[in-house]
A and B are shown apart, each in its own frame.
With several copies, the nearest count.
Chain A
Amino acid sequence: MDVLSSNVRDDALVAEGSFVVELAGFNGPLDLLLALIRDEQVDIYDIPVARICEQFLGRMHELKLNEAAEYLEMAARLIRIKAQMLLPRKDGIEGWEDPRAELVRRLLEYQQMREVVDVLEKLGEDRRNRFSRSYTQQAAAPPPAPLALSLSDLLVAVDRVLRAARKPTIHEVIPRALDVDGAMQTVRAVLQLRALARWRDVVRPDAEPWEVLSGLLALLELAKRSELHLTQPRPFADVEIRRELAGEAA
């Protein structure tokens, strides 16, 4: 009877709710697991994994959490631990690692954090019960405080950005997005060395997007000026860049 009524209640919750985790009343798999450990009154340092795992899967099904990746991941973890616990072991052997250790650590960590949440909740609620001044008297906002800026701050920031970017994307001090002129000079220089060049000869393999674009535009521009001739023997083949003698002379 109890089981039935609790199922009915949960189904009602499922029908009303819109968001699985919210409606389940749990803030994630660790929260659910802690609730089970509490309900079953088991020792967190000696979790009966088989029993808790079964309960966890049951609750997942009951709460229709089967689709939630985080719960699935935890379920898989529990099943793995359960299997590891079944492996035969000789007591007292040095170096045996309790397969539950990592889970226990995470549960304790999460439980500790829940305790902090209770503290924050109370503090936040106390503060919410006090109003600060909401009327601002100045007709206009006061002028912002003067800025204290130094070039070194800016340069250190540039350095930070460079170090942070996966690939440093800042190359040019001169404010321009592309360097077509530079790329054209590169192409001309390459074509002075050899009559037939390929894409890789004019744009290095690890080129930034702006360099690739600059190179492409340079080739098109030079082709337009008849300084070179672009051919592609067949689709997807390397583009061949040929010196156009007439164009160079002109």
Chain B
Amino acid sequence: MNSLAKLLEAALFASPRPIPVDELAALDPEASPAAVQSAIDELREHYDVDGHGVELVDVGGGWQVLTRPEYTEAIERAQMAVRPARLSPAALETLAIIAYRQPIGRAEVAEIRGVDVGAVIKGLHERGLIDVVGRAEGLGRALLYGTTSLFLEQFALRHLEELPRVDELAIALRRDGLLPADAPVVPPATDDGATAAAAAEAAPADAEPQPA
């Protein structure tokens, strides 16, 4: 390996988090962006071709060295490292909604899930997977949440666009105009007093930035 690749390897080994390319480049102020990129490529290829227990992964806007999955079980059995706890279904549902609808308020997440999400949102916030990214306009000025770089890292995503696009999902939503043309449903009634009132109750104006 060339000396830049070795330097990058040393830095990547030293860091528990992904390192963005520009920070890798800062390791050697003399190195051109092309040289940094080719050193990254060399390192990654080296791990792959030469047969290593680790690999170089492009994740969350940076590069990170991770162990290969086939060794995880043995490492955990020997108690040398512990896998992070799995997220509960409730946490995953909440995270999925926030990932796709960010910035989004708590009331709107609760509306989609059909259950209160206060405790789940608090837990996701404490784990650093979501953060407050703003406040809604209007009444109450509800806090709006979005996903963090740690979210990308923990789901091995380079960026949010790696999640399936909404129109690629099997179930398409009417709100995106994707309901089958012959679907026998019409937009929710708004002239029905009871329904409208119930909808208003379930979705306070503050947290409902719905596309008009």
Physical contact A–B (CB less than 8 Å): yes
Q: How far is the CB of A59 from chain B (nearest CB, A)?
A: 15
Q: A124-B154, A128-B83, A134-B14 are in contact. Are A116 and B112 (CB under 8 A)?
A: no
Contact B166 A131 (CB under 8 A): no
Contact A145 B100 (CB under 8 A): no
Contact A97 B172 (CB under 8 A): no
B89 at the interface (CB under 8 A from A): yes
Interface residues of A in 162-206 (CB under 8 A from B): 162-166, 168-175, 177
B170 at the interface (CB under 8 A from A): yes
B198 at the interface (CB under 8 A from A): yes
Residue of B whose beta carbon sits closest to that of A125: B86
**B192 partner, pick from A97, A106, A117, A174, beta carbons under 8 A:** A97
Question: Using Cβ atoms and an 8 Å threshold, which residues of chain B touch A113?
Answer: 93, 96-97, 100, 112-113
Contact B163 A173 (CB under 8 A): yes
Q: A27-B113, A173-B164 are in contact. Are A160 and B89 (CB under 8 A)?
A: yes
A235 at the interface (CB under 8 A from B): no
Question: Using Cβ atoms and an 8 Å threshold, which residues of chain A touch B84?
Answer: 128, 145-148
**A105 partner, pick from B65, B72, B81, B188, beta carbons under 8 A:** B188
Contact A132 B173 (CB under 8 A): no
Q: Mark B107-146, 1 if CB is under 8 A from A, else 0.
A: 0000011111000000000110000000100001100001
Question: Using Cβ atoms and an 8 Å threshold, which residues of chain B touch A127?
Answer: 153-156
Contact B92 A123 (CB under 8 A): no
Q: How far is the CA of A171 from the CA of B160 in the complex (A)?
A: 14
Q: Mark B163-190, 1 if CB is under 8 A from A, else 0.
A: 1111001111111101100011111111
Q: How far is the CA of A133 from the CA of B63 in the complex (A)?
A: 13
**B76 partner, pick from A106, A121, A142, beta carbons under 8 A:** A142
Stretch of A2-10, A150-158, A222-230 that contacts chain B: A150-158
Question: Using Cβ atoms and an 8 Å threshold, which residues of chain A touch B57?
Answer: 130
B87 at the interface (CB under 8 A from A): yes
A28 at the interface (CB under 8 A from B): yes
Interface size on A, residues (CB 8 A): 84
Question: Using Cβ atoms and an 8 Å threshold, which residues of chain B touch A173?
Answer: 100, 160-161, 163-166
Q: How far is the CB of A97 from chain B (nearest CB, A)?
A: 4
Contact B96 A164 (CB under 8 A): no
Contact A102 B85 (CB under 8 A): no
Q: How far is the CA of A116 from the CA of B157 in the complex (A)?
A: 14
Question: Using Cβ atoms and an 8 Å threshold, which residues of chain A touch B199?
Answer: 102
Q: How far is the CB of A219 from chain B (nearest CB, A)?
A: 20
Q: How far is the CB of A116 from chain B (nearest CB, A)?
A: 4
A-B interface contact total, Cβ < 8 Å: 286
User: How many B residues are at the interface, by size bracket?
Assistant: 35 or more
Contact B189 A45 (CB under 8 A): no
Q: How far is the CA of A159 from the CA of B163 in the complex (A)?
A: 13
Contact B86 A135 (CB under 8 A): no
Q: How far is the CA of A126 from the CA of B155 in the complex (A)?
A: 8
Task: Report which residue of B64, B175, B183 has the largest number of chain A beta carbons within 10 angstroms of its beta carbon.
Answer: B183
A207 at the interface (CB under 8 A from B): no
Contact A116 B163 (CB under 8 A): yes
A232 at the interface (CB under 8 A from B): no
Q: How far is the CB of B178 from chain A (nearest CB, A)?
A: 5
Question: Using Cβ atoms and an 8 Å threshold, which residues of chain B touch A153?
Answer: 86-87, 92
A115 at the interface (CB under 8 A from B): yes
Q: Mark A209-239, 1 if CB is under 8 A from B, else 0.
A: 0000000000000000000000000000000
Q: How far is the CA of A164 from the CA of B140 in the complex (A)?
A: 8
Question: Using Cβ atoms and an 8 Å threshold, which residues of chain A touch B90?
Answer: 21, 27
Residue of A whose beta carbon sits closest to that of B104: A177
Question: Using Cβ atoms and an 8 Å threshold, which residues of chain B touch A157?
Answer: 89, 92-93, 95-96
5 contacts between A and B (CB under 8 A): A108-B174, A116-B96, A117-B96, A120-B92, A155-B176
Interface residues of B (CB under 8 A from A): 10, 13-17, 57, 64-69, 72, 75-76, 79-87, 89-90, 92-93, 95-97, 99-104, 112-116, 126-127, 135, 140-141, 146, 153-157, 160-161, 163-166, 169-176, 178-179, 183-192, 194-195, 198-199
Interface residues of A (CB under 8 A from B): 21, 27-31, 45-46, 70, 74, 77, 80, 97-102, 104-106, 108-117, 119-121, 123-138, 142-166, 168-175, 177
